[in-house]
Structure 1
Amino acid sequence: MTSIYGHRGAKGEAPENTLVGFQRCLEHGVRRCELDLHLSRDGELMVIHDPTLKRTTGRRGKVVEHDAEELTRYDARSGGPGWKQPCPIPRLSELFEKCDFEHWQLEVKSASRVRAARTVLAIKALAERHQLLDRITVTSSSREVLRALMRLTPEIPRGLVAEYTWLDPLKVARQYDCRLLALKWTLCTPERIAKAQAQGLHVSVWTVNEPALMRRLADFGVDSLITDFPGLAVETLGKG
């Protein structure tokens, strides 16, 4: 059975990477989510996709140039579906407190060696505090991040985010002892999926928003789909 992950909460239904988006995902009975993390200037894990603030908040500057307290006052409604109330950038700690997901894919974007180390250690500390270590997988397309995970937090399951095939995703996943492969849907063939699963990987495919494509990938046997429209995915596939 193919399970469903809400992409950045429910990106097609509510502002991405905001508390209301993750709550919308849960309202559909979808208890798995994918989100993106950046560190604030004072070292807190903030849930936002871009390294800069412009696209989702309309503000200038980088996430890392602002303290967490400032960031939680910025409204992240821009560029998404219309929403009446302001939607602040959340801390990951707030989502851990308020959203009962059974599994979280936490994506860390590319980072310097020092920043990768600080980020993965912050994730471990927060997940331990909330007793969620057994419910998270940290994913990345960055070798620096995957190396930091192997070196500093080997107990946290790792996932490779793969968008291109010029680097063999299965080889890279094996190199970093990953348990999950987050594969762009355009790379999905029945052969690649079967090969990945034979290697012990959970194959999670993004970003899947069309019902016909959801059904096709489910028929291919993917383990999970990451979608902007968790409500539509539930209608199309059932809960999963």
Structure 2
Amino acid sequence: MVNWTDYLNSLANQLWRFSSGCQPDVDPSGVKLVAHRGAYHRSNQQDGTSIFENTMPAFERCLVHGIWGIELDIHLTLDGEPVVHHDPACGRLFNRPDLVIAETCFADLRRALPAIPHLQEVIERYGKQLHLMIEIKESWRQRPQLPNQLKTLLHDLEPDKHFHLLSLEPDHLEGFRFLPPSALVDVALTNTQHIVQQNLTLGHGAVAGSFALLSPTILQQLKAAGKQTGTGQVNHPDILNREVNRGVDWIFSDQPLRLQCPEKSR
């Protein structure tokens, strides 16, 4: 089955290469490049193995290759433990659709799928070494223990400097008002204008969205309001040049090694 989001993003990466701003080249080592769910790959051409998204090996590759930051997703288990996984259930990656994270205790999840990390493990290994862009997938209104869980785990990290919290739903970040607004990032898909308006209303510190949909006018509006900006999914070096030359603060990519060190991408 065609993944239309990936297909359209790949097409945009090719088409926008011919837009203004793709030159001059930039030094990728100086870019705040964020590996979306880590530096994963579905099948290694040499030995046929995969490195799954949102796992420790995917994050380790980012550390080894000097990627600035990682984006990771969290869900709470039945007993309130934050684990790193994008989907509510474990079917897409691990062929266990019967395992719904919110309905499974952490101990049972760990026994069944040890590759899914606890957020504490990620923080202990990569905190202050990789910038953590932590996407909140659930509402604090339904999971009231979530803000305190993260407050405890992130205690030794400095917000904005070492981590940000992200969400596709701006209200999900309202439960984290103990953090400075600069650490809260609202993420847009195709609803860019709506998310920008909510961001300005709520006073969160940043907006991230598609490089193809965050227009120069919107970027100028956000910069004038003192907001930081991030764009994704940037998967071609020419688009990386364009986004840096447009003054975007963070570049999110599904193919970070292609941008950071192309010769080591496999």
| Residue of structure 2 in register with 1:35 after alignment | 72
Task: Tell me, in whole angstroms, the C-alpha distance in 1 between the residues paired with 2:185 and 2:209.
Answer: 10
Identity value in percent: 28
Is 1:10–1:227's contact at 8 Å kept on the other side of the alignment?
no
Task: Tell me, in whole angstroms, the C-alpha distance in 2 between the residues paired with 1:198 and 1:165.
Answer: 21
Does the C-alpha gap of structure 1 residues 166 and 187 become closer, same or farther in structure 2, counting only changes over 3 Å? closer
| Residue of structure 2 in register with 1:203 after alignment | 229
Within the candidate set 17, 35, 55, 1:18 is matched to 55
| Residue of structure 1 in register with 2:165 after alignment | 138
1:109 Cα deviation (Å)? 1.6
Q: Does 1:183 align with 2:209?
A: yes
Is 1:74–1:89's contact at 8 Å kept on the other side of the alignment?
no
| Residue of structure 2 in register with 1:107 after alignment | 135
1:167 Cα deviation (Å)? 4.3
Q: Does 1:232 align with 2:258?
A: yes
Opposite residue 167 of structure 2, the aligned amino acid is: S
Which consecutive residues of structure 1, in runs of 5 or more, have no partner in the other structure?
76-86
Q: TM-score, normalised by structure 2?
A: 0.75
Is 1:54–1:61's contact at 8 Å kept on the other side of the alignment?
yes
SS at structure 2 position matched to 1:208: coil
Question: Which runs of structure 2 are paired with 1:69-80 in the superposition (5 Å)?
Answer: 69-75=107-113
Task: Tell me, in whole angstroms, the C-alpha distance in 2 between the residues paired with 1:43 and 1:133.
Answer: 24
Does the C-alpha gap of structure 1 residues 184 and 166 become closer, same or farther in structure 2, counting only changes over 3 Å? closer
Task: Tell me, in whole angstroms, the C-alpha distance in 2 between the residues paired with 1:99 and 1:186.
Answer: 31
Task: Tell me, in whole angstroms, the C-alpha distance in 2 between the residues paired with 1:208 and 1:202.
Answer: 17
Is 1:12–1:228's contact at 8 Å kept on the other side of the alignment?
no
| Residue of structure 2 in register with 1:119 after alignment | 146
Task: Tell me, in whole angstroms, the C-alpha distance in 2 between the residues paired with 1:185 and 1:122.
Answer: 33
Does the C-alpha gap of structure 1 residues 219 and 64 become closer, same or farther in structure 2, counting only changes over 3 Å? same
1:3 Cα deviation (Å)? 1.4
User: Residues 35-87 of structure 1, C-alpha deviation per residue, up to 9 Å, x if partnerless?
Assistant: 00000111111000011111111111311111112222344xxxxxxxxxxx7
Is 2:170–2:195's contact at 8 Å kept on the other side of the alignment?
no
Task: Tell me, in whole angstroms, the C-alpha distance in 2 between the residues paired with 1:44 and 1:54.
Answer: 20
User: Residues 128-157 of structure 1, C-alpha deviation per residue, up to 9 Å, x if partnerless?
Assistant: 1xx01432211112243122223xx34472
| Residue of structure 2 in register with 1:212 after alignment | 238
Which consecutive residues of structure 2, in runs of 5 or more, have no partner in the other structure?
1-29, 43-50
SS at structure 1 position matched to 2:165: strand
Q: TM-score, normalised by structure 1?
A: 0.83
Is 1:41–1:66's contact at 8 Å kept on the other side of the alignment?
yes
Is 2:63–2:130's contact at 8 Å kept on the other side of the alignment?
no
Does the C-alpha gap of structure 1 residues 167 and 219 become closer, same or farther in structure 2, counting only changes over 3 Å? closer
Within the candidate set 94, 103, 115, 1:88 is matched to 115
1:114 Cα deviation (Å)? 2.6
Is 1:28–1:230's contact at 8 Å kept on the other side of the alignment?
no
Within the candidate set 167, 171, 177, 2:197 is matched to 171
Opposite residue 93 of structure 1, the aligned amino acid is: Q
1:112 Cα deviation (Å)? 6.3
Does the C-alpha gap of structure 1 residues 204 and 112 become closer, same or farther in structure 2, counting only changes over 3 Å? same
RMSD: 2.1
How many correspondences in the alignment? 220
Report which stretch shifted further, 217-226 or 10-19: 10-19
Task: Tell me, in whole angstroms, the C-alpha distance in 1 between the residues paired with 2:88 and 2:112.
Answer: 15
